[in-house]
Amino acid sequence: MEAYTQKRFLSTAMIPEFQVKSFIYNILRCNINLVFARTLTLVRVDLHDRITRVEPLVTRITRLTARRHQRETDDWGESKNLRLTNGVLAFLTCVLFLSSVRVGNCQEKEKPLAQKSEKQSKKRKSPDKGPFVLVGAGDIASCADLSGAEATANLIEKIPGEVFAAGDLAYEKGTAQEFANCYDKTWGRFKNRTHPAPGNHEYASKNGSPYFDYWGKQAGPPEMGYYSFDLGAWHVVALNTNCDAPGLGGCGPGSPEDLWLQKDLADHSKSCIVAFGHHALYSSGIFKKHAIHPELRQFWRDLYKAHADLVLNGHEHSYERFAPQDPDGNLDPKNGIREIVAGTGGRSNDLLGFAIPNSEVRNATSFGVLKLTLWPGKYTWEFVPVDADGLHDSGSGTCHNVMPTN
């Protein structure tokens, strides 16, 4: 009697016995790995979403089962039948909740944690962190002898990063032919990553037109030749130090370049600052009129007020590094600007005179390039000579406007 009753009970249920077993087997096959391998931390799908997804199925099965019970079962069978049906539904609900899959679909959803990890990884690789490299020199390509420019160009080709070209790029007069036949064949190999500044030799031909034609927008607006750009936390200013150049308007207080520089620096008050141009305010060249340019003091005042860190120059065909100083040449280790003269791009080597105050390192025999490595809040410098036995100079400093990150 008991066996007959159980058989009758199963036959009157909405789901036949073999279908129940098959259904449970398929669910387990799709979800067993998820049920046993996942932790509640990894299964991060909204609970409300799952309940909403399961609820219509549960409601539909319950209604169909209730109608079947009313028609085909007695009181004892109905009670057993309901218990079996409720058990299947409870099992189904739990499996759906744990596996986070749709009914009839064994595909797993994307893992939110993996997506979050990818975003965090991208954030850690932010380009603002650096380090960035700025490498270059001034006084570069002489059409009379390209060996020096060729040698320094070979150095830069091995150094990734941005390049500064601090004036007097194509000797003797900066003509279109000299740019094409001399500069372009040497330092022109990395023209697309070069940031130029004009020297006095550039203005010896048609008021600098060949220079501006060669560089286009890279040289800043024509007749101005000054501009700026950013390298992460560092703001880089390219100055036109040819104060008598036609159309420039001088370099004194209230000049167009002075007003532009003040605004540009004010807009980057939270950046580390490095400026470069051809002429130096201070150097120990043997001819003082050639070596020292007091007409640039106003630019230095602007830079000093903005807490600039470095000024890079050429013009003197030598290498010289100064201790941090103020615009009037007073030693200022805390707030001063470090000036480095690197007119060592390959044109020639010129004699140096007696060292002026705050000069720390000088050399007039080595061609080479100055390499800056820039981090948020700090920097290093290195003079890389062409010859292995040439001058080696290196060191580090901190930024005035930004605290070092490590």
User: What's the Cα-to-Cα distance from 364 to each of 8, 23, 110, 367, 391, rounded to whole Å?
Assistant: 109, 88, 64, 9, 9
Query: What is the reported pLDDT for 222?
Result: 82
Model confidence band, residue 404 (pLDDT cutoffs 50, 70, 90): confident
Asked whether the beta carbons of 81 and 73 are under 8 A apart, the reply is yes
Determine the Cα–Cα distance for residues 339 and 360; give it in Å rounded to an integer.
Answer: 10
Determine the Cα–Cα distance for residues 129 and 131; give it in Å rounded to an integer.
Answer: 6
What pTM does this model have? 0.70
Model confidence band, residue 46 (pLDDT cutoffs 50, 70, 90): very low
Is residue 345 within a helix (H) or strand (E), and if so which, with residue range? none
Mean pLDDT value across residues 136-150: 98
pLDDT digits (tens, 9 = 90+) for 201-226: 999 999 999 999 999 999 999 889 99
For 29, phi then psi, to 5°, come to -60, -40
| 301, pLDDT greater than 70 | yes
For 362, phi then psi, to 5°, come to -140, 145
Here the tokens at position 84 are 């079996």
At 294, is the secondary structure helix, strand, or coil?
helix
DSSP 216-272: GGGG-STTT--EEEEETTEEEEE----TTSTTT--SSTT-HHHHHHHHHHHTTTTSE
Determine the Cα–Cα distance for residues 167 and 139; give it in Å rounded to an integer.
Answer: 6
pLDDT digits (tens, 9 = 90+) for 86-127: 444 444 444 444 444 333 343 444 344 334 333 333 333 345
Domain ranges (residues) in the chain: 2-118, 126-398
Asked whether the beta carbons of 58 and 89 are under 8 A apart, the reply is yes
Model confidence band, residue 164 (pLDDT cutoffs 50, 70, 90): very high
Mean pLDDT value across residues 241-260: 97
Determine the Cα–Cα distance for residues 82 and 101; give it in Å rounded to an integer.
Answer: 26
DSSP 1-22: -HHHHHHHHHHHSSS-HHHHHH
| 71, pLDDT greater than 90 | no
Model confidence band, residue 60 (pLDDT cutoffs 50, 70, 90): low
Determine the Cα–Cα distance for residues 280 and 283; give it in Å rounded to an integer.
Answer: 7
Here the tokens at position 367 are 């061609």
- Give the Cα-Cα-Cα angle 245, 247, 248 (nearest 5 degrees): 60
For 162, phi then psi, to 5°, come to -85, 150
Q: Any residues with CB less than 8 A from the CB of 93 and at least 6 apart, and which?
A: 54, 58
CATH number at 126-398: 3.60.21.10
Nearest one of 78, 89, 96 to 28, comparing CA atoms: 96
Residues forming beta bridges with residue 370, ordered by sequence position: 136, 383
| 85, pLDDT greater than 90 | no
